[in-house]
């Protein structure tokens, strides 16, 4: 049998030798050919198998033994590879530590993203009735990463209105990314918001990949809407790493 130092093959070899010795003592001839698994054998001819990094395995209950290379999928806990450049031909959800950038990244099937998810958080902000009809105001501006392209994952808003929204008089709230064109990535209209109740809104951004310098939370008065609006929100994103 090839490679008797392989642990699994060595066990099979020893079991077969014990069986031979037992049958010799009892005066029973060793069966010829391949010994079935039910009788302590492999159910297969392993005379040409084995070698470095090879393991013997049963892929089904009671099935014949096979010998093949140990793969990452065979290990319940897979080591995280690392280096200064990403490996070629990654699989979805592969993890890789970029030691040169100090980033733990994962592959989403298309691109490498930081495993960490960043958050731009807007604390509660009070918008008073100071806007004219159909006017727009900026509730807050927060700087973003400029050294990497961002991959936006989720937007959340928490809104409170002292006046219930209607079909004609309401407020609209949205997130802009300041990239000279002010790309809107998520927004809600408060036409059905109840009065004096915090209401939560969340959703995926209209575009995941948007470059920009700032994130803005903006509000628009549609018609002559009245009342006071309180806003809080967050934009979540990862960094695209190349």
In a shared domain, residues 50 and 139: no
In a shared domain, residues 104 and 125: no
* Of 43, 74, 105, the domain-final residue: 74
Output the pLDDT for position 87: 93
With respect to residue 188, please indicate whether it lies within any of the assigned structural domains: yes
Output the pLDDT for position 72: 65
* pLDDT interval class at 196 (50, 70, 90): very high
* pLDDT interval class at 1 (50, 70, 90): very low
List, as one string, the DSSP characters of the chain.
---TTSHHHHHHHHHHHHHHHHHHHTT-PPPPSPPPGGGTS-SS--TT---TTEEEE-SSTTPPPEEEE--GGGSSSPPPEEESSPPSSPPTT-EEEETTTTEEEEE-SSSEEESS-EEEEEEEEEE-S---TT-EEEEEEEE--SSSEEEEEEEEEEEEESS---SSSEEEEEEEEESSS-EEEEEEE-SSPPBTS-EEEEE--S-SEE--SEEEEEEEEETT--S-EEEEEEEEEEEE--
Output the pLDDT for position 14: 74
* Residue 88, domain extent: 81-114
Output the pLDDT for position 200: 95
pTM: 0.65
In a shared domain, residues 145 and 104: no
Is the pLDDT reported for residue 99 higher than 90? Answer: yes
Output the pLDDT for position 85: 96
Give the CATH number of the domain where residue 222 resides. Answer: 2.60.120.260
With respect to residue 137, please indicate whether it lies within any of the assigned structural domains: yes
In a shared domain, residues 178 and 224: yes
For residue range 198-226, list pLDDT tens digits in order: 999 999 999 898 777 888 888 888 877 77
In a shared domain, residues 41 and 122: no
- Total number of domains in the chain: 3
With respect to residue 234, please indicate whether it lies within any of the assigned structural domains: yes
Question: Which percentage of the chain shows pLDDT scores above 90?
Answer: 28
* pLDDT interval class at 29 (50, 70, 90): low
């Amino acid at each position: 049998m090839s490679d008797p130092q392989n642990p699994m093959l060595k066990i099979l070899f020893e079991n077969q030798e014990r069986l031979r010795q037992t049958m010799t003592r009892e005066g029973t001839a060793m069966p010829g050919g391949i010994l079935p698994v039910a009788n302590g054998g492999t159910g297969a001819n392993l005379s040409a198998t084995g070698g470095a990094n090879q393991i013997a395995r049963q892929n089904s209950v009671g099935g014949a033994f096979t010998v093949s290379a140990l793969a990452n999928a065979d290990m319940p806990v897979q080591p995280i590879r690392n280096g200064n450049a990403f490996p070629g031909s990654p699989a979805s959800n592969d993890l890789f530590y970029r030691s040169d950038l100090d980033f733990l990244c994962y592959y989403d099937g298309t691109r490498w993203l930081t495993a960490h998810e960043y958050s731009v958080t807007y604390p509660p902000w009070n918008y008073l009735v100071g806007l004219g009809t159909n006017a727009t105001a900026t509730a807050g501006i927060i700087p973003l990463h400029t050294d990497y392209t961002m991959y936006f994952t989720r937007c959340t808003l928490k809104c409170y209105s002292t006046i219930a929204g209607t079909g004609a008089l309401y407020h609209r709230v949205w997130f802009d990314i300041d990239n000279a064109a002010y790309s809107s990535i998520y927004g809600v209209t408060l036409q059905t918001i109840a009065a004096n109740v915090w209401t939560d809104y969340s959703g995926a951004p209209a575009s995941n990949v948007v470059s920009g310098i700032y994130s803005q939370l903006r509000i628009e008065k549609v018609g002559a809407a009245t009342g006071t609006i309180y806003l809080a929100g967050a934009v979540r994103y990862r960094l695209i790493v190349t």
